[in-house]
Structure formats: structure tokens, C-alpha cells
Amino acid sequence: MRKYRARLALPALVLALGLVVAACGGGSSKSSSATTTAKESITIAAFNFPESSTLANIYGKALQSKGYRVTFKPNLGTREVVEPALLNGELDAYVTYAATELTFLKVPGDAGTATGDVQQTVTRLRDAYTSKGISVLDASSAADANAFAVTKATADKDKLVKTSDLAPFAAQMTLGGPPECPTRPFCQQGLLKTYGLKFKSFKALDAGGPLSKNALANGDVDVALIFSSDSAVQARNFVILQDDKHLQNADNVVPVIRTPKLNGEITSIWNSISSKLTTDDLVAMNKKTDVDKQDAATVADQWLRDHGFSS
């Protein structure tokens, strides 16, 4: 079930064309440097959704300001396209999500199993990539994972902060989510097994999309599955309940880079970014790109300025 965003493989021709067209800073086809002394050249890709482009710009522009020649490849495609291009050396880095990335690698046994523990998941991801010549840097506290939300009115009325707080109320509540939710371990099954929550009813909607968000806002459901970094959280006054028993896996933001391109300065800059980036930041930035239709590069510039990085 995780994640609900489409992960369909694209034809090789699309990859080839995408790698020919380089875009810098989220739109320009010209690489640039903020200093006169250029350093290493780095090609950073983004998946095919706005949050990924914003993250690529944040991590990439921070290197540009230090003299690195950074080429951006925004909206390159799904993980089935981007990850092989990294392994083939057709690009150098991208910002990913730890649990989804590890699961995609299909490492056998426990070593390939993502968990709700971010450090364990990142360690397993790092181990899986070492032999492939890929380095995994520090993960951020920022995450984009399945989440369960209520309206602020419901949260205030019932004093709901954590998912476990639903225990006294679930029997009178309707849960909303994708049609497969009742049979999935990270949705209704998991809420029952991990939290002991048995809801009054379930309403089949969509995978964190407009049906789910409208149903929650309109009171047609009391709890809905959405994504933790969805801009609707802020725009529509929703409250995401903390996953205090770690039902969901750790889909924390983490950069990966080809090891030959990595040095101490890049490690320091990127780990510093990851240490300051939060899920609330993702929510706010997603509102700017998804709702306000701001350019990802512009949104990234503002985040860098606000957090003490040149852009």
C-alpha cells in the first residue's frame, strides 16, 4: 500500500530523452555557480512530483553557492527510472525516502525490511547501497509517509494528539481511505493490530486524494488517510495524529549520491540541511508549489535563506 503515488516504469526512450535535457534550478537549461571557482560537477534528479523538485533544489542550490556546478533534472520520472540512472552513472544524486527506497531495492531477508525506526531503516539502506557505489547520508526528521488525520475541531474536542488517543472514540467513528485499506497492514488492519482500533464503519474513498480530504472536511468521515506532508494539512486545518506506536515505516527524507562524487564538504552541507528540515517545512513548501503554484526553485531559495544557507 505504501506509497500510494504511482511508481510506474517508463520506457527507456523517455529516460534517454530526459537525461539529454538538463534543467538548472528547476527551469533553466544552463548550469550555474554562485562563485568564480567551480568545484565538482553534480547532476541531481527529482522524481515526478513537486515535493521532490523542491528537495532537489534545496540540496543542489546549497552546493551551487559553494562553487559546485550543479545540473538539475526535474520531473525525471518514477523511481523505476531514476534509481537505475543513478546506478548507471547517468546522474549523481537525488533526494529520496528511506523506507520506500529500501523496499524498492528488494534486498532479501531482514536486511531489506523497512521498519518504523528511521536509524535502523537508514542503516539497512546504507548497507544495501555500499556495494553498488552509492552513499546514503543522514536522514532528516522530515518525512512523507501515510498518516491519519482528523479535523482540528475533532482534535480539540476529543483532545487528540496521538493515534493511540483514538482508542476511546474509534467505535463511534468512520474511517476513510482507499478501497484496499481494510485489507492492508499499514491501514485498517494495522490500526486494529497495532493500536487496537475498531471503527464503527469504513468509507472507501481514494489514496489520500481529494475524495478523502473533502470527506474529512465535510464530516463524512471522522478519520482519513492522507500523506504526512500534504499541503492540505495546513490549508484545510487538518491535524495529523502522531504515529506513537510506529505503524508506518520510516519514510524520512534522505539524500543518496554516487560515492565517487562525495566529499567532506558535501557531506557536511547536506547533513546540515537534513538536520534542519522538518515535516512542517514540507507541508508549508508543498502548499506553495501545489496550491499557490510557486516555482520549486523559488520555494527552495526561500527555505535556504530562512535557514542560514546561501542560495
pLDDT average, residue stretch 10-20: 38
Beta bridge partners of 70: 32, 42
Reply yes or no on whether the pLDDT at 23 is more than 50.
no
Q: For the residues 112-140, what does the mean pLDDT come to?
A: 96
- Which residue would you say has higher pLDDT here, 287 or 136? 136
Tens of pLDDT, residues 95-115 = 999 999 999 999 999 999 999
- How do residues 59-75 score in pLDDT, each as one tens digit? 999 999 999 999 999 99
pTM greater than the 0.85 cutoff: no
- Domain ranges in the chain? 12-143+251-306, 146-240
Q: How far apart are CA 235 and CA 306, in angstroms?
A: 21
Query: How much is the pLDDT for 38?
Result: 56
Q: Is the pLDDT of residue 232 over 90?
A: no
Q: What is the pLDDT of residue 229?
A: 92
Give the number of other Cβ atoms within 10 Å of residue 36's Cβ. 6
Exposure letters 255-294 (e unless 16+ CB within 10 A, then b) = bbbbeebbeeebeebbeebbebbebebbbbbbbbbbeeeb
DSSP structural state of residue 287: I
SS3 state of residue 292:
coil
* Domain spanning 12-143+251-306: CATH superfamily: Periplasmic binding protein-like II (3.40.190.10)
What is the per-residue pLDDT for 27?
Answer: 42
Q: What is the CATH number of domain 146-240?
A: 3.40.190.120
Is cis: bond before 288, omega within 30 of 0?
Answer: no
